Every structure is written in C-alpha cells, then in structure tokens.
Amino acid sequence: MPHRAQLFGMDFNLSEEHLAVQEAASDFAQNHLLPGVLERDNEQKFDKELLRQMGELGFLGMMVSPEYGGGGMDTLSYVIAMEEISKIDASAGVIMSVNNSLVCWGLECFGTEEQKQKYLTKLASGEMIGAFCLSEPEAGSDATSQHTTAEDKGDYYLLNGTKNWITSGETSNVCLVMAQTNPELKHKGINVFIVEKGLDGFVVGKKEDKMGIRASDTHTLMFTDVKVPRENRIGEEGFGFKFAMSTLNGGRIGIAAQALGIAAGAFEISLKYSKERQTFGKPISEHQAIQFKLSEMATKVEAARLLVYKAARLKDEGKDYIQASAMAKLYASETAMWVTTEAVQIHGGYGYVKEYHVERLMRDAKITQIYEGTSEIQKLVIARELLK
C-alpha cells in the first residue's frame, strides 16, 4: 500500500518508480528473507547466497551511478527499500545500509576515478562487500580520538591499531579505515584508507555475541604494520575526519530507515495478530486497551516515516540535511524501541518466544538507538544545528 503525505512543502506521493522499488524490496523480503530468518538469528550467520541475490537485485548499490554499476536511484528509493527489507530482517538491513550509505557513497563522492573503477564497481554489484572502520575501543562517539595510526612511509602508509564493532567485519572484502597520521594536528591529521583483506598484518578478531541483528557479523579488526599503498588514501592529507562526518550524516538516514522498518514490521505483525487472537469470546482487536496501543503505534510509525522521507528528500535536493537526518534517526530509533516493546505486550506470552518474531524485532530495535551515534549524540547534533 503506497504511503502518501506532504510535509513542509515536500510532495511525498510515491512515483511509479518508487512504488516499483517498494514492491521489489517487499517481495524479496517476504519470499527470500523471511524463510530462515529465525535460524539465521539463532546461528548468528547471514546466508551468502542471500547476499549474492541482494547484489544481483541492486540493493547493495542503489544510489551509485550506473557509470559504476549502480542503480542510480535517489535516496528516497533507498529508504523505501530499507524499510521493507528491515521489516523482515534488520540484519540484512544493516549490511545493506553500511554498503550503500557509508562505503559506496563515500567512495563515489570522494574517491579518485581509479579507486572507483577498482572498488566501487564491485561494491555496487555486491561482488565485494564493504566495511566502515571508525569506532575503536577508546574512540566510539569521540571520533576525533583515533588511536589507530597510519605512518607515512612515502609510497605506502604503515597501519597499526584496532577497530571494533565493525559490521561485516569478516564478510567484507575491503574496509574504509580511519587512522591518525599527524597527532599534533588532532582531527585535521586523520586520514581514511581503502584497506583490502588479505594484506599481511590484517587480522579479523573475535565475533561479537550480540543481543540483536545477530545474523550480521560484527567483529574486531586488528592491524599490525599493514602496508597500505599511498594510492589507497581517499582525499587529501588530513581529509579523514571530514570524510567520516560527511558519510555519517548520510548514514543516519539509512539507520533511521532501518529503525522505521523494524517498527513498521512489529506493528504489522501485531495488527494481524490482534485480529486473530481471541479472549473473552472476541478478537483482542475489539478490546479498547489494544485499540489504544495499535492507534499510538500506527501514529508513531507514520511520524517516523515522514521524518525519514523528509531527510531523504533534502539530501536528494542538495539541501542541508544534517538536522533532518539526526531528527529522523533519533525519532525512528526511539519509535522502533517503543513499538516493538508494545508489540511484545500485545502478544502476551507468545510475544516472549521466538516463533512470533516480535521478540527478535525488539532485540534488533535497541541497536538503532546506539550505532551511527547514540540518541544523546543525535540530540547534540540537532541542538548544534538549531543554535547556529
């Protein structure tokens, strides 16, 4: 069912192209991701065949120019697809988000032509999977405090350090790694590098045993005297911090869309269940207490959708979207947590077991309040924009 709305002069009537994207993503999610989603969550493993299919269908390089093998779609198409995918499997959603919003977008916007031809074309098609390596044991939200170092050796940089909480840490073929080259310059001394798997000294560390999005692999990555060719640096010397902040601004939109999908998925399951489950001789949907819950869930989901669409539209129109993306991420993630909790409550005891999916969605929802910056970080970003 198409979602139509207008906000702040923005027309959110979905075009035929947008509706086609929505249908394709929903079809893939229902027919390919839903079967086995509980097993993947239990086994903490994403099916490589599903990843290949996502690449073939264009879900891993949606916004990349066709010149580099991508779909050439707008951000709104991307968030529409993200919502449908994440309704069913948020692990697939986060893999898709990192590859699209952080890795592909960053390379296309700031990479050299040689870097785009060598890496972006394969990342857009799903032949390669990318990882974004900013967080460290002592530098999560404080991205300026990079302890990973990249010593300039002329033809190459010598990379040393540790990155953690890396989505697709094991699955990925290439990583975009932020590292400090000139500590005296602080954040202006940070660089970003394309680092290929298989280089001497590049080790994939432990896999995190997570509460949610368990099918997406999250690892610690360790670098010991890794020689990274000079031509693999993205941008000018000291561009790394600006690169990270620019990509994260767009990345928030992807995570907001993921959170929206989790919330919408939990609401749709609950609405269906409320019509089927009977107590005291009638469906629980006829009880006023359940109606109140469903009404508020639907309202919050729709409000989150409008904020996500607004941020996507602003980005597509080349306007400042920093505040809008932070608002979308903040509200959508809090909505995901609230709606999934209510979904478990509506299901009662059934909501507490895996078979009915809502307990998994509740576990998946929590991380959307944490990665790409916690809710508190989003509030700081919003306040900074308001006070300019």
The answer to whether residue 1 scores a pLDDT higher than 50 is no
Three-state DSSP at 175 gives: strand
Amino acid letter at 314?
A: L
Element at 196 (helix H, strand E): strand 190-196
pLDDT tens figures, 98-114: 999 999 999 999 999 99
Identify whether residues 329 and 256 lie together within a single domain: yes
Identify whether residues 135 and 124 lie together within a single domain: no
Rounded to the nearest 5 degrees, what angle is found at the Cα of 60, between the Cα atoms of 381 and 100? 20
Q: What are the residues whose beta carbons fall under 8 Å from the beta carbon of 241, sequence distance 6 or more?
A: 143, 144, 178, 187, 188, 190
Residue 24, in any domain of the structure: yes
Distance CA(101)–CA(99), nearest Å, equals: 6
Identify whether residues 173 and 262 lie together within a single domain: no
Q: Kindly state the average pLDDT of the residues 343-352.
A: 97
The answer to whether residue 10 scores a pLDDT higher than 90 is no
Distance CA(56)–CA(52), nearest Å, equals: 6
pLDDT tens figures, 279-305: 999 999 999 999 999 999 999 999 999
Whether the CB-CB separation of 233 and 157 falls below 8 Å is answered with yes
* CA end-to-end span of the chain: 40
Cα–Cα distance list, 83 to 17, 55, 263, 266, 322 (Å): 16, 17, 9, 12, 20
Identify whether residues 365 and 261 lie together within a single domain: yes
Q: What is the pLDDT of residue 13?
A: 78
- Domain containing 182 equals 131-240
Q: What is the pLDDT of residue 5?
A: 45
Distance CA(113)–CA(67), nearest Å, equals: 11
DSSP 374: -
End of a domain among 240, 275, 290?
Answer: 240
Residue 242, φ and ψ in degrees, nearest 5: -65, -40
Nearest to 103 by CA among 47, 57, 172, 53: 172
End of a domain among 222, 240, 258?
Answer: 240
Q: What is the pLDDT of residue 143?
A: 76
Identify whether residues 235 and 257 lie together within a single domain: no
Rounded to the nearest 5 degrees, what angle is found at the Cα of 262, between the Cα atoms of 130 and 348? 140
Identify whether residues 228 and 119 lie together within a single domain: no
Residue 288, in any domain of the structure: yes
Identify whether residues 271 and 369 lie together within a single domain: yes
* CATH code for the domain of 67: 1.10.540.10
Residue 345, in any domain of the structure: yes
Residue 1, in any domain of the structure: no
Distance CA(121)–CA(347), nearest Å, equals: 45
Distance CA(205)–CA(223), nearest Å, equals: 10
Distance CA(329)–CA(333), nearest Å, equals: 6
* CATH code for the domain of 146: 2.40.110.10
Identify whether residues 233 and 268 lie together within a single domain: no
* CATH code for the domain of 342: 1.20.140.10
Neighbours of 329 (CB within 10 A): 33
The answer to whether residue 8 scores a pLDDT higher than 90 is no
pLDDT tens figures, 136-194: 988 766 778 899 999 999 999 999 999 999 999 999 999 999 999 999 999 999 999 99
Identify whether residues 32 and 121 lie together within a single domain: yes
Task: Judge residue 332's burial from the number of C-beta atoms within 10 Å of its C-beta, 0-12 exposed, 13-18 middle, 19 or more buried.
Answer: buried
In this prediction, residue 11 has a pLDDT band, given cuts at 50, 70 and 90, of low
Residue 6, in any domain of the structure: no
Q: What is the pLDDT of residue 2?
A: 43
The answer to whether residue 317 scores a pLDDT higher than 60 is yes
pLDDT tens figures, 222-267: 999 999 999 999 999 999 999 999 999 999 999 999 999 999 999 9
Identify whether residues 344 and 252 lie together within a single domain: yes
Residue 5, in any domain of the structure: no
Amino acid letter at 55?
A: G
Amino acid letter at 64?
A: V
Residue 78, in any domain of the structure: yes
Residue 81, in any domain of the structure: yes
Identify whether residues 200 and 117 lie together within a single domain: no
Identify whether residues 256 and 382 lie together within a single domain: yes
End of a domain among 177, 212, 240?
Answer: 240
Whether the CB-CB separation of 207 and 217 falls below 8 Å is answered with yes
Among residues 196, 372, 376, 385, the one annotated as catalytic is 372
Give me the number of domains the chain comprises. Answer: 3
Q: What is the pLDDT of residue 6?
A: 43
Determine whether 49 is an active site residue: no
Distance CA(231)–CA(119), nearest Å, equals: 13
Q: What is the pLDDT of residue 42?
A: 96
